Amino acid sequence: MANIVYIATSIDGYIAKSDGGIDWLNEIPNTTGSDYGFGDFMNRIDGILMGRKTYEIVMDFEKWFYPKPVHVLSNSLTELPGKWAHKAQLVKGEILEVLEALNRQGINNIYVDGGKTIQSLLAADRIDEMIITRVPIVLGSGIPLFTSDLPELKFDHTSTETYEGGLVKSCYKRKR
C-alpha cells in the first residue's frame, strides 16, 4: 500500500496561484505530445483521493484525465457539482478513516491530489512517495505545496528526469 503525490509546482514551490488558478500550467510547451510519465504513473495506482478544491478546478476541464476511480474528499459538499460528477465519488470523514475505507475496498495504491489533502497526509506521515515536477516559473505567491507547520520527514531521492520546456520531475520515497 502506498499513498503517492504526483504534482507540479512552480520553482518557488507553489501548486496554484492565490486564487487557485493553474493557468500557468497551460503555458508549458509540449510539441512532442508527451504526458510526462502520467500514463505510466496511472498504471501503478488503484484510485485517486482528491481534495474538494482540486475537484472544483478539474470539473471545468474539457477532458476527464483519470482512468481510475476518483474519490473527492469533502465534509462540506452534499453532492459533487459539475459535468464530471458522474465520474467521481464524494467521500466524507476524517482523512485517515477515509484512507482505511479505500484500502478495505481494495484501493491500496492511492494517488493523492490537492494541497490540503497532501498537507494533511504529510502531517500524519502517511505519504510514501512524492513525484514533483518543477515548472520554470516563479509565481511569487500562491498556494504552497509545503507549509511551515509540517513535521520533518526524510525522503530518499530515487530519480530525476527533464522534459521539454525546462520541466524537472523528481521522485522521492519516504525514508522509514
CATH code: domain of residue 157: 3.40.430.10
Contact 96, 127 (CB under 8 A): no
Of 88, 87, 111, the C-alpha closest to 99 is 111
Look at residue 27 in the predicted model and tell me its pLDDT. Answer: 84
Cα 158 to Cα 63, 131, 170, distances in angstroms: 31, 10, 8
Number of domains in the chain: 1
- Structural domain harbouring 165: 2-174
92: CB partners within 8 A, 6+ apart: 73, 74, 75, 98
Report the C-alpha gap between 64 and 134 in whole angstroms: 23
Higher pLDDT, 31 or 82: 82
Distance (Å, whole) CA 116 – CA 21:
15
22-36, 94-108, 156-170: lowest mean pLDDT where? 22-36
Place of cell 474528499: 73
Each residue's pLDDT tens digit, 6-28 = 999 999 999 999 999 999 998 88
Residue 83 has pLDDT above 90, yes or no: yes
Q: What is the pLDDT of residues 50-78, one digit of tens each?
A: 999 999 999 888 899 899 999 999 999 99
Q: How confident is the model at residue 95 (pLDDT cuts 50, 70, 90)?
A: very high
pLDDT at 36 over 90: no
User: pLDDT tens, 135-171?
Assistant: 999 999 999 999 999 999 999 999 999 998 899 999 9
pTM of the predicted model as reported, rounded to 2 decimal places: 0.94
